[in-house]
């Protein structure tokens, strides 16, 4: 039993592919810290450095503002054939986002995803992950996206904090 615990602990900290038991039930993104965490209950099971939209401060208000939304959403569907290395959709805009955008006479935007690097450019992650380059999405390396893809089922809650 102790040996199995040690093996799982080493696997979790090694960057190796996720074990079958490592399924996240919640995702938390800390925008200011540029950190994405996968949780199982109250335990952090993985952490990843992320890049955001080119204008990361504040909540997404409209299409084209290059902001990553803040709040509670769901990771509700995935696209294995994305223009980026896999992508998982964030359920933005929520009804409150739509209402706020309508009150301001703007389009709230959408298609916010967690994704890897632009297809065929994964080798540039050592550079691209050093700055905020997306249009409001949450970007990780391709290897990290492969791991997130296997550990985060559809309809997992995601909280995006400032």
Domains of the chain: 23-161 (2.40.440.10)
pLDDT for position 10: 37
Distance set, CA 82 to CA 9, 44, 107, 111 (Å): 32, 28, 23, 11
Phi-psi category of residue 108: left, alpha or beta, with phi > 0 → left and psi -120 to 50 → alpha? alpha
**Residues 51, 131 contacting (CB under 8 angstroms):** yes
**Residues 75, 89 contacting (CB under 8 angstroms):** yes
pTM of the model: 0.85
Query: In the beta sheet, which residues pair with residue 134?
Result: 53
pLDDT for position 1: 40
pLDDT for position 20: 55
What are the per-10-residue average pLDDT scores of the chain (162 residues)?
A: 36 48 94 97 97 91 94 97 96 96 95 93 85 93 97 98 96
């Amino acid at each position: 039993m102790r040996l199995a615990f040690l093996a799982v602990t080493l696997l979790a900290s090694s960057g190796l592919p996720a074990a079958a038991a490592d399924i996240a039930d919640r995702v938390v993104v800390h925008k200011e810290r540029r950190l994405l965490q996968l949780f199982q209950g109250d335990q952090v099971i993985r952490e990843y450095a992320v890049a955001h939209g080119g204008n990361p401060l504040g909540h997404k208000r409209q299409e084209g503002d290059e902001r990553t939304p803040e709040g509670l959403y769901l990771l509700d569907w995935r696209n294995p054939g994305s223009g980026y290395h896999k992508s998982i959709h964030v359920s933005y805009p929520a009804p409150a986002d739509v209402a706020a955008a309508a009150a301001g006479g703007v389009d709230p935007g959408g298609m916010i995803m967690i994704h890897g690097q632009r297809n065929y450019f994964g080798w540039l992650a050592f550079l691209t992950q050093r700055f905020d380059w997306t249009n409001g999405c949450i970007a990780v390396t391709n290897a990290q996206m492969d791991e997130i893809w296997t550990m985060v089922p559809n309809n997992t809650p995601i909280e995006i904090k400032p």
